[in-house]
Amino acid sequence: MTALTLSTSAAPGLRADAIVIGVAKGAKGPVVAPGAEAVNEAYDGKLAGVLETLGASGAEGELTKLPSPAGFKAPLVIAVGLGAEPEDHDYPAEALRKAAGVAARALTGAKKAAFALPVEDAAAVGAIAEGVLLGAYSFDTYKDNSKDPKAKNGKAPLAEAALLGGKPRDAAHKAAAARATAVSEELNRARDLINTPPNDLTPAIFAGIAQEAAKEHGIKIQVLDDKALTKGGYGGILGVGGGSAATPRLVKLTYTHAKADKHLAFVGKGITYDSGGISLKPAGHNETMKCDMSGAAAVFAAVVAAARLGLEVNVTGWLALAENMPSGSAVRPGDVLRMYSGKTVEVLNTDAEGRLVLADALWAASAEKPDAIVDVATLTGAMMLALGSRTFGVMANDDAFRSTVHEAAEEVGEPAWPMPLPEHLRKGMDSATADIANMGERMGGGLVAGLFLREFVGEGITWAHLDIAGPAFNEGGPFGYTPKGGTGSAVRTLVRLAELTAAGDLG
């Protein structure tokens, strides 16, 4: 992973492969952003005009390369777009994060780069650091040259980034960089898990990875295998995992702080491969289904990040891990499962499996009476139809909590949107055979799934559901600090919720 340093050095004398500066979109053309004063001065104050001549406008995601002026030890200047120039010159954290990510990705193969982006405060330091660390990510484990450090397209990711304007002796700046490093490393770990082929990430292997991380970071862990799940009556997880030779697991990660008086529970859907089961997905819909464990990856990463940050909050993570496969032992449409809660569920569609494993984990989490539960899942295609591929839906049994989760997501740069839980849709899941069916009305399918999950949340417990089906896996090209493939969606939202709880601001 890219090494970060904070530096008060002047750009001209810094030995690096490139100097990264910001350029904003002004009313009359590109505007050189704060942080690049030394570079602009070396161009006799005419850098904006030079950039405009080269076609730069300052638009978000834009990148322009030009040779460094005389006297600079770095041979290259990279001007990256920050979007519209703020009236108060206070650039939003997300604009800095995206710009740093674009530049870091363009610097693949470089040994060192200096980032001279606007640094007004510690928050800006953290945003730029996150953008660099997330933007430089690559997954090359299975490439022929994976054992060679020059792995990404024959080149290694950016090795070192110096954040100019970041003060190495300033406690707030150092803390911001340290936080960005911890969160980014765990988010990138989640990306690695999501990108790993399902033959190398069965429920048992995922559980083993969690055990190693728990040992390293002082987190308690409990792993229930298929025998323990059978003994405990976890009918949802067992039903979904029954068709696969790779048996299911329920993993419980527990981070505690001696001074904590609040407890959060995070629950993640971990379908390590989803064929749809007997309700088999057609060709064209199953090739990326290794990503159906993105919710569990996000929960895992968030718990470890909370431990690394030493947050004064108790956090329990539940990973409901199973592989959904068709076979003679697979659950069938029409089967009835008795869930861990004791409720019975008629399975009308085996491809609506995520809600079944989550139901058991939600009930298990509820037994500990946490102050709030948040579940994360790549749950429905309906949510993608509603919100697109970059925004996740937020549902909750408490409007104020839903707003808090939404605001936390937006604060850290994860696009989210509050969604309702319309009571009239609940009737569509009535079953003549069981307490409830796992399917309801087709229209509003993402909301129906949320209503199903609500049935398995303990009475009086505040709960939110994040449907990350859209942003969890990027099938298009990279953008900002988001790579192609697994994105690590919801990790930063969960960490922020834990921070808010630790600070006493969650309510």
pLDDT at 285: 86
Residue with tokens 């080269």: 54
The pLDDT assigned to 152 comes to: 52
Tell me, what amino acid is at 121? D
Hey, how many other C-beta atoms are within 10 angstroms of the C-beta on 332?
A: 13
Q: Would you say how long the chain is, in residues?
A: 507
Pick the closest to residue 489 from 299, 308, 352 (CA basis): 299
Residue pLDDT, tens place only, 376-398: 999 999 999 999 999 999 999 99
* pLDDT in the model for residue 205: 98
Q: How many Cα atoms within 13 Å fall on the side-chain side of residue 464?
A: 29
- For 256-369, list the strands marked E by DSSP: 263-274, 314-324, 336-338, 344-346
Q: Which two tokens stand for residue 427?
A: 């009737």
479 secondary structure, DSSP code? B
Nearest to 379 by CA among 281, 331, 450: 450
What is the Cα–Cα distance from 314 to 306, expressed in whole angstroms?
9
**Are 154 and 145 spatial neighbours (Cβ–Cβ below 8 Å)?**
yes
Contact in structure between 320 and 247 (CB atoms under 8 Å): no
Place of tokens 């193969």: 109
Q: What is the C-alpha separation between 417 and 406, in angstroms, rounded? A: 6
- Cα torsion through 24, 27, 30, 32, rounded to 10: -60
E-only strand ranges, 369-495: 372-377, 392-396, 416-418, 436-437, 462-467, 473-474, 485-486
- Alpha carbons 295 and 126: distance in angstroms, whole number: 25
Burial of 209 (0-12, 13-18, 19+ CB in 10 A): middle
**For residue 485, how far is the Cα from the chain centroid?**
12
Distance CA 136, CA 502 (A): 30
For the chain, the first-to-last Cα distance in angstroms comes to 36
- Which residues have C-beta within 8 Å of that of residue 362, sequence separation ≥ 6? 267, 373, 375, 453, 456, 457, 463
Backbone angles phi, psi at 320, to 5 degrees: -95, 100
Q: Which backbone phi and psi does 396 adopt, to 5 degrees? A: -160, 160
Question: Which residues in the chain show pLDDT less than 50?
Answer: none
| Model pTM score | 0.97
Report which DSSP code applies to 121: S
Distance of CA 400 to the CA centre of its chain: 23
Among 85, 172, 87, 159, residue whose Cα is nearest residue 124: 172
Catalytic residues: 281, 355
CB 354 within 8 A of CB 271: yes
